């Protein structure tokens, strides 16, 4: 102890106390401003929380890059999904005329949209890339309606903080915060590269979240649920991804 | 703040600090350099292991904006993949370890970047870069430089006084790592984040596109791994225990006898 002076000890003590209380205040503030992801408590949740908090602070309103028509990939690629069930095949045989998108949860008017109804909503398109967490990517034109329109139609309540969305594939569900849900590039898509959205790429209905990696763009979407917290869904980690070991937020 | 007072190369301080009979003499590495060195070492190891894991899910590289298995790669690594959609020539598929690898990769990246930031502030404001890393003009003269490089290439065991300072080759290498490779690997990594590249599109476009950024991220990794291997080799040439000890305790044993 001879090498450590009293002054140094006091300085260190004060600095440590300031650091700890600073961290506590930061954690409180982060939670209040929605900067803590639902999977912040998992093993490596600290890094994930830093990433999410930093991006929501600095890039909340950023737009995903858009490309020109000539940059659309001539050879797009889609990962195979688990075999689509009997229900999907039945709907496919009817050209998806009976496909429904249910909107429920914290909305004034719980609703159910047919594909035709969604196609009659204000149309939006974008040329953005799908980047898979594996490392590959492609650029395509995506045609649909902004998710915010559908939330408006159903009358999402002001206290809604997340939108949970589900695929017809039972184990595939995700959620996004309002920064992404109300983002103008977040689309409920039914078209790709000028035509129908092929089944391999998520047709008839895929939620596109271009500011995040591909796995957040769930294919075959059947249900949207507005919620003020994510504790009540699954294991409470926000989506199926953290339950399978992957991060909830994929904006990195 | 006494612990990080810059004593490293001050000859006056060194001689005055070597109390008679002491087994060690003055500080070689300041506390901040030592702490940041090991934090960077640890996070680099985590980044490397998880980076390899992530890479195995698509061991192909492209140039430009996009790339996938339907496209011709710039090159591919002759390794099996953790995804069955990737044609590798191997008949088996490795287990998928991307989930925790990605979590840890980004957590370790935060540790590395925050540590690097502290090191950078220290380097600028406490004179570490100026004193310990920027080479003296005389050492950059072609003749001096050539002889230092030749000595390095002959793996000549360094003289005792070299334990107190970095020679010109070391200085240039560390500068390259600190100011070129490290920023490049952070930049190319951030360029892979869909949100970040939306916010700063130029950061990706300068690199030639998102897949180019991924490829450059890989090359920067290769160079950093090469650096680490040579670094460890040189340290072991100079006396592994003594040099590693100096980076832990900050002190160099007084004599060059076996530590």
Q: What is the pLDDT of residue B253?
A: 72
Q: How many domains does chain A fold into?
A: 1
Residue A13 lies in a domain: no
The predicted structure's pLDDT at residue A81: 83
Model pTM score: 0.89
The Cα A106–Cα B13 span in angstroms is 69
| pLDDT value for B258 | 43
pLDDT tens profile A34-77: 899 999 999 999 999 999 999 999 999 999 999 999 999 999 99
The whole-angstrom separation of Cα B40 and Cα B114 is 10
pLDDT band at A99 (very low <50, low <70, confident <90, very high): very high
Nearest to A59 among B100, B192, B199 (CB): B199
Nearest CA in chain B to A129: B66
> In this structure, what CATH number is given to the domain that contains residue A96?
3.90.420.10
Radius of gyration of chain A (CA): 21
Task: At B221, list the tokens.
Answer: 């990794």
Q: Supply the pLDDT for residue B11.
A: 37
Dihedral pair phi/psi, residue B170, rounded to 5° = -60, -45
Q: Is there a contact between B103 and A247 if contact means CB atoms under 8 Å apart?
A: yes
A166: in domain: yes
B108 part of contact set with chain A, CB < 8 Å: yes
How many angstroms separate the CA atoms of A76 and B55, rounded? 20
CATH of B23-253, one of 3.40.50.720, 1.20.950.20, 3.90.1150.10, 3.40.1350.10: 1.20.950.20
Structural domain containing residue A162:
65-243
Give the pLDDT score at B16: 38
Do residue A48 and residue B71 have CB atoms under 8 angstroms apart? no
> B70 and A75: CB-CB below 8 Å?
yes
Quote the pLDDT of residue B119: 96
Distance separating alpha carbons of residues A156 and A110, to the nearest angstrom = 9
Q: What's the gap in Å between the CA of A242 and the closest CA on chain B?
A: 8
What's the mean per-residue pLDDT of chain A?
A: 94
**Does the residue A174 lie in any domain?**
yes
pLDDT for res A104: 98
Residue A167 located in a structural domain:
yes
DSSP state of B248: H
Reported as a single tens digit per residue, the pLDDT across B84-137 is: 999 999 999 999 999 999 999 999 999 999 999 999 999 999 889 988 899 988
In chain A, what residues touch B207 (CB-CB under 8 Å)? none
What is the residue-level pLDDT of chain B in tens, covering all 259 positions? 334 444 444 433 343 333 444 444 567 889 999 999 999 999 999 999 999 999 999 999 999 999 999 999 999 999 999 999 999 999 999 999 999 999 999 999 999 999 999 999 999 998 899 888 999 888 889 888 898 888 888 877 777 777 788 888 899 999 999 999 999 999 999 999 999 999 999 999 999 999 999 999 999 999 999 999 999 999 998 889 989 999 999 988 765 444 4
- Count contacts between A and B (CB, < 8 Å): 129
ipTM, two decimals: 0.90
Query: Going by C-beta distance under 8 Å and a sequence separation of 6 or more, which residues neighbour residue B187?
Result: B203, B207
A247/B132: higher pLDDT:
A247
pLDDT band of residue A248 (cuts 50, 70, 90) is very high
A218 found inside a domain: yes
Pairing of β A100-105 and β A221-227:
parallel
Q: Give the integer Cα–Cα distance in Å for A217 and A165.
A: 10
Identify whether A209 is part of a domain. yes
Q: Of B22 and A215, which is predicted with more confidence?
A: A215
Report the distance separating Cα B199 and Cα A183, nearest Å. 14
**pLDDT score for B5:** 41
> So what's the pLDDT on residue A133?
96
User: Where do the structural domains in chain B lie, given as residue ranges?
Assistant: 23-253
| CB-facing half-sphere around the CA of A228: CA atoms within 13 A | 5
In a domain, A42, yes or no: no
Residue A236 backbone class (left: φ over 0; alpha: ψ -120 to 50; beta: rest) = left
pLDDT at B162: 76
Judge whether A37 lies within some domain.
no
Chain A residue with Cα closest to B199: A62
Task: Give pLDDT tens digits for A144-171.
Answer: 999 999 999 999 999 999 999 999 998 9
Instruction: Please report the pLDDT score of residue A3 as a whole number.
Output: 55
Q: Chain A: nearest CA to B243, how far in angstroms?
A: 23
Q: Quick check: A59 and B201 CB within 8 A?
A: no
* Subunit contact A59:B100, Cβ cutoff 8 A: no
Say yes or no: B118 contacts chain A, CB-CB below 8 A: no
pLDDT the model gives residue A87:
95
Per-residue pLDDT reduced to its tens digit, A180-209: 999 999 999 999 999 999 999 999 999 999
Considering only CB atoms, A246 lies closest to which of B1, B55, B102, namely B102
């Amino acid at each position: 102890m001879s090498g450590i002076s009293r002054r140094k000890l006091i300085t260190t003590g004060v600095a440590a106390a300031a650091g700890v209380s600073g961290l506590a205040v930061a954690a409180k503030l982060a939670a209040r401003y929605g900067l803590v992801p639902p999977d912040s408590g998992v093993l490596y949740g600290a890094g994930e929380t830093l990433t999410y908090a930093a991006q929501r602070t600095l890039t909340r309103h950023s737009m995903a890059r858009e490309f020109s028509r000539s940059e659309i990939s001539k050879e797009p690629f889609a990962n195979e999904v688990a075999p689509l069930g009997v229900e999907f095949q039945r709907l496919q045989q009817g050209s998806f005329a009976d496909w429904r998108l249910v909107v429920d949860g914290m909305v004034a008017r719980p609703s159910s949209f047919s594909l035709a109804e969604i196609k009659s909503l204000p149309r939006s398109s974008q040329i953005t890339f799908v980047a898979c967490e594996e490392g590959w990517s492609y650029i395509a034109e995506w045609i649909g309606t902004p998710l915010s329109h559908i939330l408006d139609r159903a009358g999402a309540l002001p206290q809604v903080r997340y939108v949970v969305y589900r695929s017809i594939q039972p184990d595939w569900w995700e959620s996004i915060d309002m920064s992404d849900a109300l983002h103008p590039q977040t689309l409920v898509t039914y078209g790709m590269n000028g035509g129908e959205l092929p089944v391999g790429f998520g047709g008839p209905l895929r939620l596109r979240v271009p500011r995040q990696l591909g796995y957040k763009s769930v294919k075959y979407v059947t249900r949207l649920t507005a919620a003020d917290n994510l504790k009540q869904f699954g294991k409470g980690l926000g989506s199926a991804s953290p339950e399978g070991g992957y991060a909830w937020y994929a904006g990195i | 703040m006494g612990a990080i007072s810059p004593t490293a190369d001050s000859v006056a301080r060194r001689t005055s600090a070597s109390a008679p009979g002491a087994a060690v003499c003055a500080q070689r590495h300041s506390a901040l350099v030592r702490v940041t060195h090991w934090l960077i070492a640890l996070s680099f190891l985590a980044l490397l292991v998880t980076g390899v894991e992530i890479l195995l899910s698509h061991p192909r590289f492209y140039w430009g904006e996009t790339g996938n298995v339907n496209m011709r790669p710039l090159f591919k690594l002759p390794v099996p993949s953790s995804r069955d959609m990737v044609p590798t020539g191997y008949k088996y598929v490795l287990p998928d370890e991307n989930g925790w690898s990605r979590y840890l990769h980004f957590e370790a990246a935060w540790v590395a970047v925050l540590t690097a930031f502290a090191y950078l502030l220290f380097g600028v404001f406490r004179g570490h870069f100026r004193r310990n890393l920027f080479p003296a003009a005389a050492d950059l003269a072609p003749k001096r430089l050539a002889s230092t490089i030749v000595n390095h290439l002959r793996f000549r065991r360094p003289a005792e006084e070299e334990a107190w300072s970095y020679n010109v080759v070391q200085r240039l290498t560390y500068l390259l790592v600190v100011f070129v490779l490290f920023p490049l690997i952070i930049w190319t990594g951030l360029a892979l984040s869909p949100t970040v590249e939306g916010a700063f599109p130029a950061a990706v476009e300068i690199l030639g596109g998102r897949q180019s950024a991924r490829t450059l991220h890989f090359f920067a990794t290769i160079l950093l791994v090469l650096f680490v291997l040579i670094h460890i080799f040189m340290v072991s040439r100079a006396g592994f225990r003594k040099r590693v000890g100096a980076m832990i305790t900050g002190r160099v044993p007084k004599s060059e006898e076996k530590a």
